[in-house]
Amino acid sequence: MNKPFNRTKFSGKKINLSHGAGGKAMQDLIDEIFVKGFASPELELLEDQARFNLSDLSKLGSRLAMTTDSYVVDPLFFPGGDIGKLAVTGTVNDLAVGGAIPLYLSCGMIIEEGFSIDDLQLIVASMKKTADEAGVRIVTGDTKVVPRGAADKLFINTAGVGVIAEQTNILASRAQVGDVVIINGFVGDHGAAIVDARGELALEMSVETDCQPLNQLIQVMLKVCPDIHCMRDATRGGLATILNEFAVQSTVAIELEQVKIPVREEVRGVCEVLGLDPLYLANEGKLVAIVPEKYAESLLDVMLKHPAGLNSAIIGKIAESPHGKVILNTGFGGKRIIDTLIGEQLPRIC
């Protein structure tokens, strides 16, 4: 993990209430941690809003896309990532799976009194690195400090803006009979990594989060298959929940082949110990796409050649009935219905 840059305006090592009071301490926090850390020209202006040239946006597409999300993961640091990487990745991916080119992010932080400034710097550095990898800029933000006990260390809210090309029309309601289901790699890695990081079960395993921006992979996919029907990133609720959303909104059935769904042995082991199902475990770098069958093989070929899709697989197809259902063809020759997640397998995983 990168070392934080040297502090020059902080007398202590912890956040205190004065850092959220609107005075000099807060301005020092913003200047030294956020403005220097994110290093975007829009943020450096220190206005209450970021401003963009509409003519530049119109060159990329005909529609704006906007999303927002909040991140409350516990713990803040976990194998392969942290809350900062998660916040940027999650917002970028929410834009990208709609076919948008992500461009700009906001960052709102709610910080508990007593939080480590070193940890805050590490998280900001992680956000900047992930944003650079995704080709986006963090252009505006907000900081609040709450009394000790009023929050759990650090919560982050992000919003994102992107542009969608005129011909792109990706919707959860567009799945058609005969389409195929593609995923870009192993499922359940993020959920398993959080279990490992919590250290409550002394599991002998080594699984890192799959947290990664998917926008560049998706743009490659759209060049091969400009008519992707449905696409989502399989975060909370996992693969099973996303596919149920597609089945219900498109009024179709989805048939999955269990033996084709990529799951790491380490993740299977965690699920067996805890009584979990990897199909419901959270992911933070996995997309599920439903595409016309004629594009499937060529699309899979380009995905396998991309760093974010090295373990991509065709895992199922769209059938006519039973409407709104996801059916799993098991490795033993049986069938079972995969319902939407009820309740919560693991709390605070993103």
pTM over the 0.75 mark: yes
User: Are residue 117 and residue 59 in the same domain, yes or no?
Assistant: yes
Q: Does 3 map to a domain? A: no
C-beta separation of 163 from 64 below 8 A: yes
Alpha helices in 135-264 (DSSP H): 189-198, 215-224, 238-250
Nearest to 148 by CA among 109, 111, 108: 111
C-beta separation of 189 from 265 below 8 A: no
User: Are residue 185 and residue 321 in the same domain, yes or no?
Assistant: yes
Residue carrying the six token digits 């011909």: 167
Last residue of a domain, one of 164, 190, 205: 164
pLDDT per residue, tens digit, the chain (350 aa), is: 444 444 445 556 999 999 999 999 999 999 999 999 999 999 999 999 999 999 999 999 999 999 999 999 999 999 999 999 999 999 999 999 999 999 999 999 999 999 999 999 999 999 999 999 999 999 999 999 999 999 999 999 999 999 999 999 999 999 999 999 999 999 999 999 999 898 866 667 678 999 999 999 999 999 999 999 999 999 999 999 999 999 999 999 999 999 999 999 999 998 998 899 999 999 999 999 999 999 999 999 999 999 999 999 999 999 999 999 999 999 888 999 999 888 777 889 99
Last residue of a domain, one of 164, 196, 226: 164
Is beta strand 137-146 parallel, antiparallel or unpaired with respect to 100-112?
Answer: parallel
Give 348's DSSP letter: S
| Owning domain of residue 244 | 180-337
Angle at which helix 83-96 crosses helix 117-134, to 10 degrees, equals 30
Q: How far is 261 from 258, CA to CA, in rounded Å? A: 5
Nearest to 160 by CA among 50, 293, 29: 50
Angle at which helix 189-198 crosses helix 265-274, to 10 degrees, equals 60
Q: Does 12 map to a domain? A: no
